Amino acid sequence: MTYVDKPTVSNVVKFDDPNVKKVQKIKVMLNTGTDIYQGACKKRGSTLKDEYRKVAGIAYMDPKDMARLGVANWESVLVKSDWGEVVVYAAHSRDAPHEEMIFIPKGPWANVIVSPETYCCNDPTYKGIEATVEKSDKEVLLMADLMRSVYRKYTKNEKNVDELPSLGEMPVYRKK
């Protein structure tokens, strides 16, 4: 089982649960770190592929939090912190319950919202970041598109980077 299309996630909470009070937005604590699916996909080198966005562009949330927001597995959520905002998939965490805590595996998606502050101690604060989560109808970007839209290194003069055609899932370069 070295190749997966997407991580296996459980589906445990019903969305029409009458005991759950629906909200637009929840405040959460964001943790990032490694995860076995992310590790396997990243180190195999499949970072441009759809698989990478499914393993690293994903917020593992408590099922109750997801019910409160009204999002199902593999629907998009917008995560905002003081450092930026990013659209990722939502999925039921296999470590639940951990209400008001979300886990995004390390990767380009998590990078947008983690704190670069090292407090003069060389290590950025990757864990314990305050963030908010809300439902989103935007699509999660593929890695190459995300890097282009966030850092804009080679598209500085473009006005609407998000409207450019996708860079796709394969390396793009001009051969000799």
Partner 1 sequence: MAYEEPITDYDHIVENCTCAFCGSNCDDLDFLVKGNHVVGVRHACRLGASKIMEDEDQRLKVPMMRDENGELQEVDWDTALDAAAELIANSVRPLFYGWSETSIECMKKGLKLTEYVGAVIDNQATICHGPTVQAVQNVGYPLMTLGEVKNRADMVVYTGSNPMNAHPRHLARYSVFPRGWFRQRGRFDRTLVTWDPKFSDTAKMSDIWVPFEENGDYGFCNAIRAVLKGKELKEDVISGIPKQDIIDLTESMKNVEFGALFFGLGLTHTLSKQRNIDIAIQLVQDLNAYTKWVLLPMRGHFNVNGFNIYMAYEMGFPYGVDFCRGYPRYMIGETTTVDLLNRKEPDVFLVIAADPGAHFPGGANMHLANIPVIQIDIHWGPSTELADIVLPGTFIGVETAGTSYRMDSVPIHMKSAIDPPETCREDEWIVNELYERVKKIKEEAK
* Contact flag: residue 79 with partner 1 (CB under 8 A): no
Supply 56's token pair. Answer: 């690293």
* Contact flag: residue 29 with partner 1 (CB under 8 A): yes
User: How far apart, in whole angstroms, are the C-alpha atoms of residue 12 and residue 135?
Assistant: 19
* Contact flag: residue 166 with partner 1 (CB under 8 A): no
User: In the bound complex, what is the minimum distance in angstroms from residue 77's beta carbon to partner 1?
Assistant: 18
* Contact flag: residue 148 with partner 1 (CB under 8 A): yes
CA atoms within a 13 Å half-sphere pointing along the CA-CB vector of 45: 2
User: How far apart, in whole angstroms, are the C-alpha atoms of residue 66 and residue 102?
Assistant: 11
How many CB atoms within 10 Å of residue 134? Answer: 15
* Contact flag: residue 53 with partner 1 (CB under 8 A): no
* Contact flag: residue 54 with partner 1 (CB under 8 A): no
Of the pair 73, 125, the CB lying nearest partner 1 is at 125
* Contact flag: residue 10 with partner 1 (CB under 8 A): no
| 67 neighbors 101 (Cβ within 8 angstroms) | no
* Contact flag: residue 168 with partner 1 (CB under 8 A): no
User: If you search the block for the tokens 């805590």, which residue do you land on?
Assistant: 101
| 90 neighbors 57 (Cβ within 8 angstroms) | no
* Contact flag: residue 98 with partner 1 (CB under 8 A): yes
Name the residues that contact partner 1, by CB under 8 A: 1-3, 29, 31, 33-36, 39-49, 56, 83-84, 94-96, 98, 101, 103, 106-108, 111-128, 143-144, 147-148, 150-155, 170-176
